[in-house]
Amino acid sequence: MDQPSRPPSVDRLAHGLAATLGLPHAAGVDIARRAIADGWRTEAEVLAAGRQWRRGLLLPVINASGVLAHTNLGRAPLGLDLAATPTNLEFDLETGERGSRQRGIGALLAALCGAESAIVVNNNAAAVLLAVAALAGGRQVLVSRGESVEIGGGFRVPEVVAQSGAALVDVGTTNRTRLADYAAAIDRAGAAVALTLKVHPSNYRVEGFVEATTVAELATLPVPVVVDVGSGLIDANCPWLDGPPPAWLAGEPAVRQTLAAGAALVTFSGDKLLGGPQAGIVAGRADLVEACARHPLARALRPGGHVIAALQQVALAYLGRSVARDLPFWRMAGAPLDALRSRAGALVDAVGAGTVVDTEAIPGAGSAPGAVIPSAGVRLDGDVTTALRRLDRPVVARRIQQATMADLRSVDPADDAALAEAIRRVLA
């Protein structure tokens, strides 16, 4: 078709974007003006610009990657249905005075963790920062060289400690750190040492000629032990599941056992193995938790009411033993392999293409590094991962060589029909 002699009407284009894509009129006007300024004259080109703009917003995605808590897809999926009504977030219903947003959720999490007290901040990096700032500002923090790590998003232990106002002291070596290394550092610096910080290297493993100091050993030192367990496994025994703990959790540190071993405080994420929203939890000794709560950073790092409501829902699910039913992460992790194979077969039948294959899913989000969970999915010939991502409801699948793998362990069974329709579209 010939290009029009003059640009189309901005207002008409904006109304078209609203009718076709549901974009707000103001956004449609801006998109149309930018498109015309860039030399795009046809309505189809402006519509493509509108689709691209919308894809920059949060959209529901079908996660067929086999990564259960996918960091780039929001980690642990969690639904939250709240009525548009005021809550007693910071209101004491007994006294009629201002209350604490930490009181109720702190009590629930403390009971869940087997701790004296607990508070919530906005992520685990914030939890580590607050704990170190409150307990060691202006003093020394001992960290094994093998645990002075960087995890996803540029979280580096040395930088977090520096921001807290404390001084990090490396002890031991990269592969071997003994209790004597910590004791020698305390003997040298005396009262300048405020605490030891033990960090779980959640997204990698060091194997071979290695030695680490246990929490129980560190607890014999004359300074508190703060342990970043990272992934938020509450109890190594997984009492919320039927049967024994799954094999893929072997070796993963758990909150209750870490506190029982002598940790003064533990910090962990809410949106990994806990299966909740993005949050950081500090749990342990009441006096140390109170010191964290009183620190000026606590207000800057506190979570909003919706996060607290979501965490309350998660904590009640654990305490009520309804985790396997109510938390999507644990539903996915615990799905029987035969059920996944059956769903994969039904998907192949619905699409009329593909092959049912066994595969391996992973917990994701830096949890249980190296662990895999037996799974099943559908293998499609050719790489159609880009086409799947470009659908109105994107599908994130895995590319394996020149084939596409849709792993069903990370897909909600309610989305199987939508996944089948998506595959049919890209194969058409």
The per-residue pLDDT for range 311-357, each reduced to its tens digit, is 999 999 999 999 999 999 999 999 999 999 999 999 999 999 999 99
Find, among 387, 382, 384, the residue nearest to 402 by Cα: 382
Q: Which residue has the tokens 């969690």?
A: 78
Q: How many other C-beta atoms lie within 10 A of the C-beta of residue 289? A: 24
Q: For 7-50, what is each residue's pLDDT tens digit?
A: 678 888 999 999 989 999 999 999 989 888 888 778 888 888 99
- As a whole number, mean pLDDT of residues 280-301 equals 97
AA letter at 8: P
Q: Residue 158 has what pLDDT?
A: 84
Q: 265-269 and 225-230: which strand pairing?
A: parallel
Q: What is the structure's pLDDT at 151?
A: 67
H helices then E strands: how many in the chain?
Answer: 17, 14
How many domains, in total, are found in the chain?
3
Q: C-alpha angle 260/261/265, rounded to 5°?
A: 75
Phi, psi of 160 (to 5 degrees): -65, -45
Please report whether residue 93 resides in a domain.
no
Beta-bridge partner residues of 217: none
Q: Give the largest Cα separation in the chain, rounded.
A: 83
The CATH number of residue 106's host domain is: 3.40.640.10
Q: Which of 326, 361, 390 is the last residue of a domain?
A: 326
Evaluate whether residue 4 is within a structural domain. Answer: no
pLDDT at 209 over 80: no
What is the mean pLDDT of the segment spanning 381-410? Answer: 96
Q: What's the pTM?
A: 0.91
- Are 356 and 278 in a shared domain? no
- 355 & 280 share domain: no
φ, ψ at 393 (rounded to 5°): -110, 100
97: in domain: no
In the prediction, which pLDDT does 5 show?
56
In order of 74, 107, 301, the CA distances from 284 in angstroms are 28, 12, 19
pLDDT for the residue 153: 61
Are both 249 and 354 inside the same structural domain?
A: no
Q: Which domain holds residue 41?
A: 10-54
Residue 179 has pLDDT above 90, yes or no: yes
pLDDT in tens, 87-122: 999 999 999 999 999 999 999 999 999 999 999 999
Tell me whether residue 366 is in a domain: yes
Residue 204: the pLDDT is 64
Query: Of 9, 19, 20, 47, whose CA–CA distance to 31 is shortest?
Result: 47
- Final residue before a domain boundary, out of 301, 326, 351: 326
127-173 pLDDT per residue, tens:
999 999 999 999 999 999 888 877 666 678 888 888 899 999 999 98
CATH number at residue 369: 3.90.1150.180
As a whole number of Å, the CA-based R_g of the chain is 25
